Structure 1
Amino acid sequence: MRRTRPQADADAAGAVVIAPVLHRLAVMLEAGLTPDRAWQHLADSGDTTARDVCSRRESGLELARAVAASGGAWRDAASAWQVATTVGAPLARTLRSVADALREAEQTRDDVRVALAEPAATARLVAWLPLVAVALALVLGFDLGATVTNPVGAACLVAGALLMLAARVWTRRLVARAQPSDSVAGLSSEMLAIALSGGVSIPRAEEVLATVGVSPGLADRDVLALSATAGAPAVELLRATARLERHRARVSGRMRAAELSSRLLLPLGVCTLPAFLLIGVAPMLLSVMAGTPVRL
């Protein structure tokens, strides 16, 4: 269920496409079509993923594995599909639940990306500030080339360049740390709800989830304990927990984006502004002190 970073963009883009496809499959299954027939109808309508799935099915691959082979968020859908078919849970309801979870996860990622766009763009713009100072000095007529031969001037340029590099690395790490997660929040709760909706026991549901690489989290076990104590339906409680986890993920992402604006002031004050002084201001002062004429 985990994804590597090189696939992040493809997975995120795929989630937008997968949700409508899963809803179409759910509608056709509710109309009485078999899963294979539903996939074939999608393939005939021009869906490229459905064509690939049907092609793999013709080669003898199991349907859930054929879906998972499409990669990206399809692996999550395939895992839910496999759990539902194993325990006998309603497949159409399962597909709708997974589609909603994927759509909400993508909306969360979109919200965080939009919130991060402004501080990230500002950080990139400020990073060029020392070079702007150099251009300004050249326009004013200072002979900055003469400062390179001066040991103090050369040391200033080297120190300023190192500070610019440090600021760029620091800023990039801060922005990367604030990026939204590639995982789908509340997925373990959703999968456990799917398994239990098939009428199996909790130990059996955990065994089935283990076959697709999912294990119930601490929140899921708290919900199961609450269900046993209060006599409330565990499936609905788990689905409510999944929605709550997705809401928390959205709020957490927005908070990280808001905090990024203030955290970016650290590399600005510690690295970028000193680099501005060392690369832009110090050579001009050395040029004046050395008596280099200024060409206006």
Structure 2
Amino acid sequence: MDGLIRGRSQERSNDADAAASALTLAVLLGAGVATARAWDHLAETGDAAAARVCEAHARGAPLPVAIAALGGRWADVAVAWSVATSVGAPLADTLRGIAASMRDAQEAADEVRVALAEPAATAKLMGWLPLVAVALGAVLGFDTIGVLIGSPFGIACLVGGVALTVLARRWNAHFVRKAADEGAVPGMGADLLAIALSGGVSIDRARDVVDGARADASVEGDVSSLEGILALSRSAGVPAVELLRASAELERHRARVEARVRAARLSSRLLLPLGVCTLPAFLLLGVVPMFLSVVSSSALTLP
């Protein structure tokens, strides 16, 4: 579980860096700095991701390809960059909007992380309970370790207790991982299609551009789920760009609520591995050996 938490912390840091860098690029481009020079300026500030993009671009890689190679949230930036340059949409406004979307998703993930902190810490603490039982028996003067390694029944208790402890840890980690599952930025498909349409192209052309940019950056997803919004735009005579952006905001709001619900349910779900694995392991490694130690001592003292 510790490795899972450290890995997710690193991912969150990289995602936050991507959003901050995209916003900085938007400011530079909005001030009239050329695209390649904007990346150079960003790299000169010590931004490692920007330095890698500049190196790849200097070797001849197109900017969207160099950006997508960074992985993580940078793939979304690469797709947005490719879409904007393909249709002639304002690149500064595009990056500013994508950065806002990523930061919104990051804030939701941070809220979930805070909500998960207490139940995850409790599960981690309870995972040590079987080992505490062994130490407690030794402190109280019981030969628990001797029983666990000195008799067939004790060895069976040791193997069963260790197996249940490992199972409980993996089970807890599975629940925490599911509750903290962030995945892609919610509403990104709608945002990308809005960017494409803001360039003045047709809906069919916008679909093709977004799908092609996603394929080039190896990003999953398509815009087929947005057909209802496009149909509403045509029937009501309302600009599709605003409807798509409103849909993206609503999708991120729903994702935030669902994530909070998953975090709230985690506390009750963690009781399952506690009751099925941790407490039986406590009995096998602590209570049973102490009982056997008392029985064997009593048997030895009988005339």
Deviation at residue 216 of structure 1 after TM alignment: 0.7
Name structure 1 gaps, 5 residues minimum. Answer: 1-5
Q: Which residue of 1 aligns with 2:111?
A: 111
Q: Distance in 2 between matches of 1:233 and 1:120?
A: 46
The structure 2 residue matched to 1:224, chosen from 225, 230, 238, is: 230
Q: Which residue of 1 aligns with 2:125?
A: 125
Q: Which residue of 2 aligns with 1:200?
A: 201
Instruction: Report SS of the residue matched to 1:254.
Output: helix
TM superposition score normalised by structure 1: 0.88
Contact 1:112–1:254 (CA under 8 A) maintained in structure 2: yes
From the superposition, tell whether residues 278 and 110 of structure 1 become closer, same or farther in structure 2 (CA, over 3 Å). same
Q: Deviations over 1:173-194 (max 9, x none)?
A: 1112112323111111110111
The structure 2 residue matched to 1:267, chosen from 265, 273, 285, is: 273
Deviation at residue 135 of structure 1 after TM alignment: 1.0
Number of equivalenced pairs: 287
Contact 1:163–1:272 (CA under 8 A) maintained in structure 2: yes
What RMSD, in angstroms, separates the aligned Cα atoms of the two structures?
A: 2.3
Q: Which residue of 2 aligns with 1:3?
A: none
Q: Which residue of 2 aligns with 1:57?
A: 57
Q: Distance in 1 between matches of 2:63 and 2:153?
A: 70
Q: Deviations over 1:185-227 (max 9, x none)?
A: 1111110111111111111111111112241142x22211221
Q: Which residue of 2 aligns with 1:162?
A: 163
The structure 2 residue matched to 1:254, chosen from 256, 260, 263, is: 260
Instruction: Report SS of the residue matched to 1:157.
Output: helix
Contact 2:147–2:292 (CA under 8 A) maintained in structure 1: no
Deviation at residue 284 of structure 1 after TM alignment: 1.2
Q: What amino acid is aligned across from residue 240 of structure 2 in structure 1?
A: A
Deviation at residue 256 of structure 1 after TM alignment: 1.1
Is 1:85 the counterpart of 2:85 in the alignment? Answer: yes
Q: What does 1:58-77 align with in structure 2 at a 5 Å threshold? A: 58-77=58-77
From the superposition, tell whether residues 267 and 51 of structure 1 become closer, same or farther in structure 2 (CA, over 3 Å). closer
Q: Distance in 1 between matches of 2:115 and 2:12?
A: 17
Instruction: Report SS of the residue matched to 1:40.
Output: helix
Contact 1:10–1:72 (CA under 8 A) maintained in structure 2: no
TM superposition score normalised by structure 2: 0.86
Percent identity among equivalent residues? Answer: 54
From the superposition, tell whether residues 163 and 240 of structure 1 become closer, same or farther in structure 2 (CA, over 3 Å). same
Q: What amino acid is aligned across from residue 136 of structure 1 in structure 2?
A: L
Instruction: Report SS of the residue matched to 1:32.
Output: coil
Q: Which moved more, 1:150-159 or 1:247-256?
A: 150-159
Name structure 2 gaps, 5 residues minimum. Answer: 1-5, 215-220
Contact 1:8–1:182 (CA under 8 A) maintained in structure 2: no
Contact 2:148–2:157 (CA under 8 A) maintained in structure 1: no
Q: Deviations over 1:28-50 (max 9, x none)?
A: 33333332233333344444433
Q: Deviations over 1:147-180 (max 9, x none)?
A: 6434433333332222222212211211121123
Q: What amino acid is aligned across from residue 191 of structure 1 in structure 2?
A: L
Deviation at residue 252 of structure 1 after TM alignment: 1.5
